[in-house]
């Protein structure tokens, strides 16, 4: 995982994550529903990192034989008392660096402290990648991701950094 700051990055986490104000994030992953499973969590304990775009990139791929589906579960833990809502968006970037003109394909801007299913459908013969674009609005908040998968119509592009048999699904930035 590569990020510029240790205080603000995606981390693999198990069970509850504690911060100075108590719990931040889910008590269990979505897959096993207990504290032994892992999930990815984005959190910040420092105000200077709030409302910054933190992105997580899929490998480059293209759709073959139909639409490519991205499926995932997310847990958005904001601060309802302070009306601090975290943001999670998904959009597409092509291999040439251009963004898809259709804009945001998925958006969650509300306080939802439980696992919810997200899915995105996209088709392109040109190499593209999905971008999870996140912002935290409060130091007590977090966004978590689990069970990220792609449909069989999503074919990894030859210029992707993913190697066969690799468990690395994302590039961090």
Mean pLDDT by 10 residues, the chain (173 residues): 46 67 71 82 73 85 92 80 73 86 74 84 91 80 87 82 45 42
| 102 located within any domain | yes
The answer as to whether 143 is a domain residue is yes
Would 23 be classed as within a structural domain?
A: yes
The confidence score (pLDDT) of residue 1 equals 27
Residue 20 lies in a domain: yes
Residue 154 sits in a domain whose CATH number is: 2.60.120.200
33 belongs to a structural domain: yes
What phi and psi values does residue 48 have, to the nearest 5 degrees?
A: -70, -15
CA–CA gap between residue 83 and residue 24 (Å, rounded)? 16
Kindly state whether residue 3 falls inside one of the protein's structural domains: no
Of residues 116, 86, 91, 117, the one with CA closest to residue 105: 91
Residue 83 falls inside a structural domain:
yes
Domain enclosing residue 113, as ranges: 8-172
Q: Can you give the pLDDT at residue 38?
A: 85
pLDDT at 34: 81
Q: Is residue 1 part of a domain?
A: no
Calculate the CA dihedral of residues 57, 169, 166, 40 and round it to 10 degrees.
120
Please count the structural domains in the chain.
1
- Give the pLDDT confidence score for residue 121 in this predicted structure: 94
């Amino acid at each position: 995982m590569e990020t510029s700051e240790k205080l603000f990055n995606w981390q693999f986490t198990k069970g509850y994550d504690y911060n100075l104000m108590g719990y931040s994030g889910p008590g269990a992953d979505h897959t096993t529903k207990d504290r032994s499973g892992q999930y990815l969590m984005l959190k910040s304990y420092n105000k200077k990192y709030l409302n910054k775009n933190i992105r997580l990139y899929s490998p480059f791929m293209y759709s073959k034989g139909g639409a490519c589906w991205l499926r995932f579960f997310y847990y958005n833990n904001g601060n309802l008392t302070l009306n601090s809502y975290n943001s999670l968006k998904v959009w597409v970037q092509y291999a040439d660096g251009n963004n898809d003109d259709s804009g945001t394909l998925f958006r969650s801007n509300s306080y939802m402290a439980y696992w919810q299913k997200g899915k995105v459908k996209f088709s392109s013969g040109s190499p593209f990648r999905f971008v999870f674009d996140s912002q935290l609005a409060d130091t007590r908040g977090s966004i978590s991701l689990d069970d990220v998968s792609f449909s069989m119509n999503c074919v990894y592009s030859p210029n992707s950094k993913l190697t066969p048999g690799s468990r690395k699904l994302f590039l961090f930035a």
